[in-house]
Structure 1
Amino acid sequence: MAFSILYWLNYVSGTKKLQQKSELAVKADHVLKFCFDPELNHVQGRVQASMRDRSYHVNITLGENNTVVDGICDCVNGQDKCHHKASILLYGYKNVSKTDVRASWIQHPKRAPSKQTTTMEELFPPPPNIANYSYAMDCI
């Protein structure tokens, strides 16, 4: 995975309730939007509130050693730790693949298989009863 689970683990460490609430939010598909910029180490998203018709905007700056440097959420606890930020971090781990990281598809494998050309006759050989059939015209 391109997005490490350690961001989430370091963020929720020591708070079992925060861990459980974020897991439930991801499982219930409460993460409505997720954007990850690996060059800026920035994550932003939107998380549905658990009991209201409301969603919260989340911005997180990731640091070295898989830590969260800064994070802001629109909720009441948005300046401190909240489960909306933890949900975004967990969602990132579960849903960001290597192809979501910009330009990772340009990297070539260490050893590419040799290219071989296959003809249509090799791919789709004619049935044996039609292979020797020749067209003949009888003139009257």
Structure 2
Amino acid sequence: MALSILYWLNFVSGTKKLHQKSEVAVKSEHVLKFLYDPELRHVQGRVQASMRDRSYHINITLGDNYTVEDSICDCVNGQDKCHHKASLLLYGYKNVSKTDVRESWIKHPKSGPPKKTMTMDELFPPTPKLANYSHAMDSF
């Protein structure tokens, strides 16, 4: 997985309600957008509100030792811990593979043998009938 579960565990530590609400939000597919940049250690996304017809923008900066260094959410509790932030961290663990991370496919390409270049004659060899006809034309 691209995002360690430890970020989520440290964020929800000691708050059972936050733990449960974030799990419900991920299972209910309330995470609408998720972007993760491992170089900047930044997570950004959008999470649907639980009971309302709106969504919240979240920005999270990941710190050392699997902690959240800084975070903000548009919701009422956005300056503190909220389940929208926790949902984004949990979603990142459960749903993001290494190929979803920005430019990871460029950094670690699969190695393989170089492709052989073929000429047109190799791709489309003349049929035996045409080959005999062309030799017959040369003798005239």
Q: Aligned residue for 1:79?
A: 79
When you count helix as a share of all residues, which structure comes out higher? 2
CA distance in 2, matches of 1:40, 1:54: 28
CA distance in 2, matches of 1:75, 1:103: 31
Equivalent residues in 2 for 1:84-103, closer than 5 Å:
84-103=84-103
CA positional deviation for 1:64:
1.2
Shift of 1:87: 0.2
Number of aligned residue pairs: give it. Answer: 115
Q: Do the aligned partners of 2:36 and 2:102 also contact (CA within 8 Å) in 1?
A: no
Scaled by the length of structure 1, what TM-score is found? Answer: 0.75
User: How far did 1:105 drift?
Assistant: 2.7
The residue aligned with 1:127 is: none
Shift of 1:108: 5.3
Can you give the 5+ residue segments of structure 1 that lack an aligned partner in the other structure?
118-140
Shift of 1:90: 0.3
Q: Report the equivalent of 1:20.
A: 20
What displacement does 1:48 show?
0.5
1:131 alignment partner in structure 2:
none
**Any idea what SS the aligned residue of 1:69 has?**
strand
- The aligned residue for residue 66 of structure 1 is 66
Supply the RMSD in Å over aligned alpha carbons: 1.8
Mapped partners of 1:88, 1:79: distance in 2: 15
Task: Summarize the Cα distance change of 1:102–1:13 in structure 2 as closer, same or farther, 3 Å threshold.
Answer: same
Letter aligned with residue 92 of structure 1: G
Q: Distance in 1 between matches of 2:21 and 2:87?
A: 8
Q: State TM-score, norm by structure 2.
A: 0.75
2:119 matched to which residue of 1? none
Alignment gaps of 5+ in structure 2: 117-140
Deviations 1:12-59 (A, max 9, x none): 000000000000000000011111111111111111110011111101
- Equivalents in 2 of 1:23, 1:59: separation in Å? 19
Could you tell me how far apart the structure 2 residues matched to 1:32 and 1:95 are? 12
Q: Which amino acid aligns with 1:15?
A: T
Q: In structure 2, do the counterparts of structure 1 residues 62 and 54 end up closer, same or farther at CA, with 3 Å as the change threshold? A: same
SS in 1 for 2:87: helix
- Please give the per-residue CA displacement for 1:81-138, whole angstroms capped at 9, x wherever unaligned: 00000000000001110112234334256xx6879x9xxxxxxxxxxxxxxxxxxxxx
